[in-house]
Amino acid sequence: MNKTLALMALLLTSALTLAHAEAIENLRTSLWGGPSLGTAETGEAPAVLAQPVAGMEAGETGALPSEDARVLNSFTGGEWDEIFARRANYSGISGTTKELFSDYNTRYIVNGTMNFAVNPPRFTADTGKVFIVNSYPDWLRKIGNKKVCVEGFARQQDDTSELIISKVLPSAQLASVTPNQGMLEIQKTANIISSTGGKYVLGNVAWNLKHNSNGALARDQYGYFSTEWRNGVTVKPDLLENAYFVKMVADTEPRYGSHGLLIFTFKPGGVVAADGKPARGLAVSLDAYYKDRTNMNYSPVDGLAGKYMVYYSVSTMERYLEFKIRDGNNALYFYPLIVSAQQRRKLLDNALRKATENKLGEMYSLLYNSCTNAAISMINSVLEQSRKISAGWLPEIVYRASVTFPDTAAAVLLKKGVTQQPLPAVNQSNFIKFLARN
């Protein structure tokens, strides 16, 4: 039934282009095809856990640490059948909507340990993130406080502190989707160094693209643009000027929205690097981690199957525009948000808080955790109840589809009176003038 509704929802989304139609077909194949990332076909997991993980770099191993292997291999075949077959009982869990639609749809795959000494229990991930566990399978108590890999779902995109755990997974499954260290060095998560005196000081901000001595964009050994990262970037919310929902559109036929994000612009002095260099704005975007630098291409099929981890990038507006539109393939449409100064400030606070959160283990999902619906969720978090994007009498999946694709999401925001009409398209021919003017 859920599969039928998912396909129906996507087919009912009116503004899908040819590219989106292809994505729908991929989604249909994914939904009806082979096992998902979180599905185990057999209870013979211990025999698999000691095998190297395909795609790992030379010298790396997929074998479990000895303590993990001892704990996981202690289960009998029958117990593994029970573990992989059963899901948590979610009865009694509140359906309270916080930011966007229903709860417990943001998927995580993490290693860590349970702590049953507190109520409700806590799950401490290896990444350092601590979850409040609101529901879990009863058999999880058999594991006690031993390390285990779990699949769970956080309450909301904008509040991932609460988790329900659905099943235990082989640890090798986590390794198969975790980006290697090389990717973590070029897909960096920003951090808040300090937030005192009415200002933020940020680290790991993508400040600009590197250029060669002749002015051409510098490229790394793999042919990708290189970024100059800055620490000690001061952001003064009191100088915040405007907030925009931004839609990136292919600047060639067929024209379709391919990405959605938030951009904040500031009065002079609002964003300043440690050496005094200014920027006019910040771009906050949910992006997918690539596995390694040899293949930094997004696969719609893998995206639909939930095989990417996600993170937030924080860039200067200058760097983001040059990166996305200098080659002439894309245009950006800025939709000014119709919000009060207080709401705009809260949105900036929410965006910076969310963008600097530890998200390792959080998984991409087209309908539940992708670039555009993440931006809509953050916008929703500051709106009055009467203007929030909400579900109606149709199945929720229909409304999720409407805020998943940038074209339809922009139309929803306009219809609800959340944004003004977009500014003229910013593209290769005018982005330098746009930056000078804004």
The percent of residues above 90 in pLDDT, for the chain, comes to: 44
Give this prediction's pTM: 0.78
The better pLDDT of the pair 79, 343 is held by: 343
pLDDT of residue 45: 30
pLDDT of residue 327: 73
pLDDT at 388 over 50: yes
pLDDT of residue 76: 60
What is the mean predicted confidence (pLDDT) over 354-378?
Answer: 91
pLDDT of residue 213: 84
What is the mean predicted confidence (pLDDT) over 224-244?
Answer: 95
Q: Are 263 and 236 in contact (CB under 8 A)?
A: no
What is the mean predicted confidence (pLDDT) over 57-68?
Answer: 36
The percent of residues above 70 in pLDDT, for the chain, comes to: 77
Q: To which residue do tokens 């771009």 refer?
A: 283
Q: Is 236 exposed, middle or buried (0-12, 13-18, 19+ CB in 10 A)?
A: middle
What 8-state DSSP symbol labels residue 38?
Answer: T
Of 39-53, 276-290, 334-348, 380-394, minimum mean pLDDT range: 39-53
How many CA atoms within 13 Å lie on the side-chain side of 173?
Answer: 23
pLDDT of residue 79: 55
pLDDT band at 304 (very low <50, low <70, confident <90, very high): confident
What is the mean predicted confidence (pLDDT) over 57-65?
Answer: 35
pLDDT band at 50 (very low <50, low <70, confident <90, very high): very low
pLDDT of residue 437: 74
- The mean of the pLDDT values for the chain is 78
- Model confidence pLDDT, tens digit, residues 111-146: 999 999 999 999 999 989 999 999 998 888 887 778
Give the helix, strand, coil percentages of the chain, each rounded to 5.
30, 25, 45
pLDDT of residue 99: 67
pLDDT at 67 over 50: no
What is the mean predicted confidence (pLDDT) over 22-30?
Answer: 32
Phi, psi (degrees; rounded to nearest 5) at 195: -145, 65
pLDDT at 78 over 70: no
- Model confidence pLDDT, tens digit, residues 240-250: 999 999 999 98
pLDDT of residue 73: 56
* DSSP-derived pairing of the beta strands 278-279 and 271-272: antiparallel
C-alpha distances in Å from residue 111, one per residue of 94, 269, 430: 26, 42, 47
Alpha carbons 389 and 378: distance in angstroms, whole number:
11
pLDDT of residue 408: 93
Of 78-92, 192-206, 338-352, minimum mean pLDDT range: 78-92
pLDDT of residue 415: 93
pLDDT of residue 84: 45
The identity of residue 431, as a single letter, is F
pLDDT band at 259 (very low <50, low <70, confident <90, very high): very high
- Model confidence pLDDT, tens digit, residues 90-116: 333 343 445 677 788 899 999 999 999
What is the mean predicted confidence (pLDDT) over 173-185?
Answer: 85
Q: CA 101, 105, 110: angle at the middle one, nearest 5?
A: 150
* DSSP-derived pairing of the beta strands 191-194 and 281-288: unpaired
pLDDT band at 362 (very low <50, low <70, confident <90, very high): very high
Q: To which residue do tokens 């755990």 refer?
A: 165
313 has which bridge partners?
Answer: 285
pLDDT band at 307 (very low <50, low <70, confident <90, very high): confident
Which of 152-156, 169-173, 242-246, 361-365 tops mean pLDDT?
242-246
* Number of other CB atoms surrounding residue 114 within 10 Å: 22
What is the mean predicted confidence (pLDDT) over 76-80?
Answer: 57
pLDDT of residue 194: 96
- Which tokens is 90 given? 């979610």
